[in-house]
Amino acid sequence: MEFNYESYFTKYKELAFNDDIHASLDDFKELALKVKTLDAKMLFAGNGASAAISAHAAVDFTKQAKVRGITFNEADLITCYSNDYGYENWMSEAIKSYYKANDVVVLTSVSGESPSIVNAAITARELGLKVVTFSGRSSSNSLKSYGDINFWVDSDAYNIVECIHMIWVTTVIDAIVGKAEYEVSS
């Protein structure tokens, strides 16, 4: 079976690069700048590839955009909190341990139904924190119902959804920096 690259890449063009996403990108940029002004931080979380996207975002928001970001990807933290609170609650409990007023929680889940992510969103809202979501699949996924700013990809293809999430989150970082190409001093 021959893979149709043109069709595949057309999906990216249709889903990631439409004008409808600009307002959400601007809203996330403004929220991140508010976090910076208030000397708060962004707490990023996801499972699997979404955890990797979260880690990349936390580092680049901190290093490039000068907006402090953290993630919960350390094996000892995950296993300790999962052991004590259950996997579906470990992110919620980590948020409770690490949050401060004015922080923002950024949650990524392709399905928008991962119990650990949905519970983290519920906890963040209960704590009075703003929530930014990145999801895909169903437009009525649970995660979106807890977001203040929602990024949703209309696709069931995990790789497409995850790559578009990465494109959108790094776009916001570059928008804060003010350009797409810049040197990082050593």
- For position 34, which CATH number holds? 3.40.50.10490
Question: Would residue 182 count as lying in a domain?
Answer: no
Residue 4 lies in a domain: no
In a domain, 16, yes or no: no
Total number of domains in the chain:
1
Which DSSP string corresponds to the chain?
----HHHHHHHHHHHHS-GGGHHHHHHHHHHHHHHHHTT--EEEEESTHHHHHHHHHHHHHHHTS---EEE---HHHHHHHHHHH-GGGHHHHHHHHH--TT-EEEEEESSS--HHHHHHHHHHHHTT-EEEEEEES-TT-TGGGG-SEEEEE--S-HHHHHHHHHHHHHHHHHHHHTSS------
Residue 66: give the domain boundaries: 21-177
pTM of the model: 0.95
Q: What percent of the chain has pLDDT over 90?
A: 95
* pLDDT greater than 90 at residue 1: no
pLDDT score, position 182: 82
On the question of pLDDT at 149 being above 60, the answer is: yes
